[in-house]
Amino acid sequence: MIYALCILLFLLGLYGVMVKRNLIKIIISLAMMTNAVNLFFVLLAYRKNGQVPIITNFNTASTVADLAVDPIPQALVLTSVVIGLGTTALMVALAIRLYHSYGTFDITKIRKLKG
Amino acid sequence: MMGMTEIVKTVAEWIKGFIIFYGLYIILQGHLSPGGGFAGGVIIACAFIMIELAFGGKRAETELDEHKSHNLDEIGALFFLFLGILGYFLPQIPFFANVIQLYWPGSPFHILSAGSIPLMNLAIGIKVGTGLYSVFTGLSHYDPLYQEEN
Amino acid sequence: MNMVSLLPSFVVIPLFTGLILSIKSKKMWYTHFIALGSTILLSILALLTPLENSYYHVGGYNDFVGITLAIDPLSRIVLIMVQVLVFLACWYSIGYMDHYTDHSRYYALVFFMLAGMNGILITADFFNLFVFMEIATLASYALVAYGGKSHELEASFKYLVLGSVSSLFVLFGIALIYSQTAALNMFIVSERLDFSTPIAWLIVVMMSAGLGLKSALFPFHSWLPDAHSSAPAPISAVLSGVLIKAVGIYVMLRFYFNIVGIENAPLSLIAWLGALSSLTGVILAMGQHDFKRLLACHSVSQVGYIFIGIGLGTYWGLLGAILHMINHAAFKSLLFLNAGSIEHASGERNFHQMGGLAKVMPWSNATSFIGFTAIGGVPPLNGFWSKLLLMLACIMSGQWALALIIACVALMTLTLFPKIQKYVFLGDLPEKFKKVKESPLSMIFPMLILCFFCITLGLLLLVPSWREYYLVSAVNVLLGGKWLGSSYVP
């Protein structure tokens, strides 16, 4: 059920990228899509009544292996969030320079390359 | 870039040291508790961004200007790469193995315990912090009349 | 230490060179030499890799816990292709980058792209593949926008948005793979992925959509003419020559043949999409006025040929596809470097306004003549052999419609390029081009080396020992079927 909501968020972002005409709205839709995929990845790790996957003096390794939520997707999503940060920064920098070159944020008017 | 009012300037001056200290704490305890290089680096970047927002662009350039932050960025990445290659200088160690753990192991749950992992966290923290600060500075100081941007 | 333990150096050396080169940010004379030396070292290392399947465990952890690097004959041939082409592009950049100001940032971005591509070719772990794919494509987005002019920024933005969407589809597919098999190592995934559940088909669809967008398959090809024509000329050569192959086609080959298995992969759909994209590419290319945009549209059609070869799934089809991949890297890069040399000398890209440049630029004339005959498929140059193999493969599988489409597109290609030769090089020289000089030597030598490859790559097919060593071993890796677990005792 909750995975279907993640896919719905992904599809809403995809709708935004395809239909919207303002550059900033396209950037925000892409950020929404990235968030949807990262959320889906983290939610895969859930285990009912699970514990934190950290080994301390009180939480020995065997209890962590039996009862903890999965730590692998959490580590992977950290990397993915930083990649999304880099992509968004590059897109915003390009949007600023496009505004200074063309004078508008509307993608239907930024069409020097045709054919 | 314009700064903000007197109250914001005074408080920012006092708090910036605490924020950098908190960021360093999260970086160095990355192998014992949640956090690590990425989160700590973002907090360190936030300290410098707070100075820039409160005082304006000119004061932030005296603290950490573009060239210095770019050089720190590269040094962080080279340090991380050096930690990966460290095994090649010793016999039969594969790439990216935890060499320091093999030769100087510490006792568990202490701060000097997990080998080269705290050092890797430090390298990532420097890189992410200065990288995020460079992005912010580059985007806010963009001058369209200065054509030699590339 | 033996050769396998030097496998991570394919990623370490470009990263190290890129970081060293970006510390100083003005025009320094030594940046060119560091770049050239690094790429020569990588090419020598690529030629020395062992032929049999080799594995390397990063950090000493075994397959179930850590990341494995694997190299087999298919990775080997693409690795050699990537290193040699980036070396030639770096050599060409010495002369071409005179009218850009910041060399060290350019070389840093080129080396990050090279590190990303090498990482994709040697890794055997899905999330590692995703991270290297992002590194390579982010560097290429910045390189397309390198000149800072308005049309380059627009092309880079379009490329960025479509590339990010495709990366997100691939990441979604990887998340679904993890949910089904609880592993990310390619060997273990191919053992555990079963196709009786409908989610496995969703995985195939998501990964195909993402990878198809990255390699410019038919419905997703619209970013390629803009992006590849707005980049600086050596970058266009690298993008069109190796990036769409290493990031799109190589990963798709691994995914379809080694992980999903031939009987489960939607191969006939890929063959028809490849046929449609080859037709679309050639028809788009016929209506262009700009030299580089025409070459970029034609890249769509040649990539369509490679997909027809993949979609057939037989021994001859795959042999033709791999040979065409190598041939296309050779002659399309040669043509892009040529277009760059013409643009560098005369400042003009619209070939209706050019003419008679053969008198002032004799070397460019000769190399472009060889490039045009190679791409048209004239024997005994290399284009002929791969197109012949693909047509024979279609006829042997009984797909007569695909063979007819291949023949039509080859004929249209053959009629397209001599027209350009006539417009650009032959005829009278207009007044404004009287002072044009030939390009500097550092730009001519890479073109000559690529001409040599165009003439002799046909021997890769004809000489039996070379064919066995390079091509047939790669095809046998793909036809070997699904990887069944790790091939050694952990």
Task: Say yes or no to pLDDT of B136 above 70.
Answer: yes
How confident is the model at residue B150, as a pLDDT? 42
How confident is the model at residue C25, as a pLDDT? 57
What 3-state class would DSSP assign to C489?
coil
- Closest-CA distance, C284 to chain A, in angstroms, reads 8
Phi (first) and psi of residue A34, to 5 degrees? -60, -45
Kindly list the partner chains of chain C, i.e. chains with 3 or more CB atom pairs below 8 Å.
A, B
How confident is the model at residue C485, as a pLDDT? 64
Domain of B125 in residue numbering reads as 6-140
Q: First and final CA of chain B: distance in angstroms?
A: 22
Mean pLDDT of chain C, nearest integer: 86
Contact residues, chain C to chain A, C-beta under 8 Å: 127, 131, 134, 138, 141-142, 145, 148, 150-151, 153-157, 160-161, 164-165, 168, 171-172, 175, 178-179, 184, 225-226, 229-230, 284, 287-288, 293
Rg (Cα) of chain B, in Å, rounded? Answer: 19
- Closest-CA distance, B147 to chain A, in angstroms, reads 11
Mean pLDDT of chain B, nearest integer: 83
How confident is the model at residue C417, as a pLDDT? 84
Are C161 and A26 a contacting pair at CB < 8 A? yes
Distance CA C278, CA B93 (A): 49
Does C469 contact chain B (CB < 8 Å)? no
Question: For residue A114, is it within any domain?
Answer: no
CA distances from C381 to C284, C377, C419, C469 (A): 25, 7, 20, 21
Longest CA pairwise span in chain B (Å): 61
For residue C408, name the pLDDT band (cuts at 50, 70, 90).
very high
Mean pLDDT over C246-273 rounds to 88
Question: For residue A112, is it within any domain?
Answer: no
Distance CA B58, CA B49 (A): 13
Are C8 and B149 a contacting pair at CB < 8 A? no
**Residue in C with minimal Cα distance to B98:** C59
CA angle C465, C6, C126 (to 5 degrees): 90
Element (H, E) at C69: strand C68-71
Distance CA C135, CA C123 (A): 14
- The count of other CB atoms within 10 Å of the CB of residue C290 is 18
For residue C359, the 8-state DSSP code is T
- Closest-CA distance, A10 to chain C, in angstroms, reads 9
How confident is the model at residue C489, as a pLDDT? 39
Residue C153 has its nearest CB partner, among A10, A80, A98, at: A98
Are A87 and C157 a contacting pair at CB < 8 A? no
- How, if at all, do strands C54-57 and C68-71 pair? antiparallel
Burial B22-58 (b: 16+ CB within 10 A, else e): ebeebbbbbbbeebbbbbbbbbbbbbbbbbbbbbeee
pLDDT over 70, % of chain C: 97
Does A76 contact chain C (CB < 8 Å)? yes
Task: Say yes or no to pLDDT of B148 above 70.
Answer: no
Mean pLDDT over C191-208 rounds to 88
- Closest-CA distance, B95 to chain C, in angstroms, reads 6
Are A96 and B142 a contacting pair at CB < 8 A? yes
Distance CA C368, CA C88 (A): 17
Show the low-confidence residues of chain A (pLDDT under 70).
113-115
Compute the count of residue pairs across chains B and C with CB atoms less than 8 Å apart.
47
**Residue in B with minimal Cα distance to A58:** B109
Task: Count how many domains chain A has.
Answer: 1
| Amino acid sitting at position B143 | D
How confident is the model at residue B1, as a pLDDT? 59
Does B12 contact chain A (CB < 8 Å)? no
Are C168 and A91 a contacting pair at CB < 8 A? no
Tell me what ipTM this predicted complex has: 0.94
How confident is the model at residue C1, as a pLDDT? 53
For residue C35, the 8-state DSSP code is H
Question: For residue A36, is it within any domain?
Answer: yes
Residues C246-258 pLDDT 10s? 899 999 999 998 8
Interface subset of B 91-150, CB within 8 angstroms of A: 109, 128, 132, 135, 138-139, 142, 144
CA-wise closest residue to C438 among C354, C358, C339: C358
Are C57 and B148 a contacting pair at CB < 8 A? no
Q: Could you tell me the CATH number of the domain that includes residue A65? A: 1.10.287.3510
- Closest-CA distance, B91 to chain C, in angstroms, reads 9
What 3-state class would DSSP assign to C417?
helix
CA distances from C420 to C224, C292, C351, C427, C446 (A): 21, 12, 7, 12, 22
Are C5 and B94 a contacting pair at CB < 8 A? yes
Task: Say yes or no to pLDDT of C54 above 50.
Answer: yes
How confident is the model at residue A13, as a pLDDT? 94
Element (H, E) at C56: strand C54-57
Residue C154 has its nearest CB partner, among A73, A79, A112, at: A112
Question: For residue A78, is it within any domain?
Answer: yes
- Closest-CA distance, A34 to chain C, in angstroms, reads 7
Q: Comparing C194 with C110, which gets the higher pLDDT? A: C110
- Closest-CA distance, B134 to chain A, in angstroms, reads 11
How confident is the model at residue C488, as a pLDDT? 46
Task: Count how many domains chain B has.
Answer: 1
Question: For residue A115, is it within any domain?
Answer: no
For residue B127, name the pLDDT band (cuts at 50, 70, 90).
very high
Cross-strand bridge partners of residue C70: C55
CA angle C57, C60, C61 (to 5 degrees): 85
Least confident of A22-26, B83-87, C333-337: B83-87
Distance CA C456, CA C450 (A): 10
Tokens of B85: 């290659």
pLDDT over 70, % of chain B: 91
Instruction: Classify residue C376 as exposed, middle or buried by CB count within 10 Å of its CB (0-12, 13-18, 19+).
Output: buried
Residues C446-489 pLDDT 10s? 888 888 888 888 887 888 877 778 888 888 888 877 777 665 43
What 3-state class would DSSP assign to C314?
coil
**Residue in C with minimal Cα distance to A7:** C172
Kindly list the partner chains of chain A, i.e. chains with 3 or more CB atom pairs below 8 Å.
B, C
Question: For residue B146, is it within any domain?
Answer: no
Distance CA C227, CA C236 (A): 8
Does A82 contact chain B (CB < 8 Å)? yes
Are A37 and C175 a contacting pair at CB < 8 A? yes
Mean pLDDT over C191-207 rounds to 88
Residues C290-299 pLDDT 10s? 888 889 999 9
Q: Which residue has the tokens 């060889």?
A: C370
Provide the residue ranges of all domains of chain C, joining segments of one domain with +.
3-479
For residue C101, the 8-state DSSP code is S
Does A39 contact chain C (CB < 8 Å)? no
Longest CA pairwise span in chain C (Å): 73
Residue C58 has its nearest CB partner, among B67, B85, B94, at: B94
How confident is the model at residue B91, as a pLDDT? 65
How confident is the model at residue B149, as a pLDDT? 43
Q: Which residues of A touch C127 (CB under 8 A)?
A: 76, 79
Question: For residue B147, is it within any domain?
Answer: no
Are C390 and C320 in contact by the 8 Å Cβ rule? The answer is yes
Task: Say yes or no to pLDDT of B105 above 80.
Answer: no
Question: For residue B150, is it within any domain?
Answer: no
Residues C129-155 pLDDT 10s? 999 999 999 999 999 988 878 888 889
How confident is the model at residue B3, as a pLDDT? 72
Residue B96 has its nearest CB partner, among C25, C59, C148, at: C59
How confident is the model at residue B92, as a pLDDT? 67
Task: Say yes or no to pLDDT of B142 above 80.
Answer: no
Domain of A17 in residue numbering reads as 2-102
Best B69, B83, B95 member to test C by mutation, with max C CBs in 10 Å, is B95
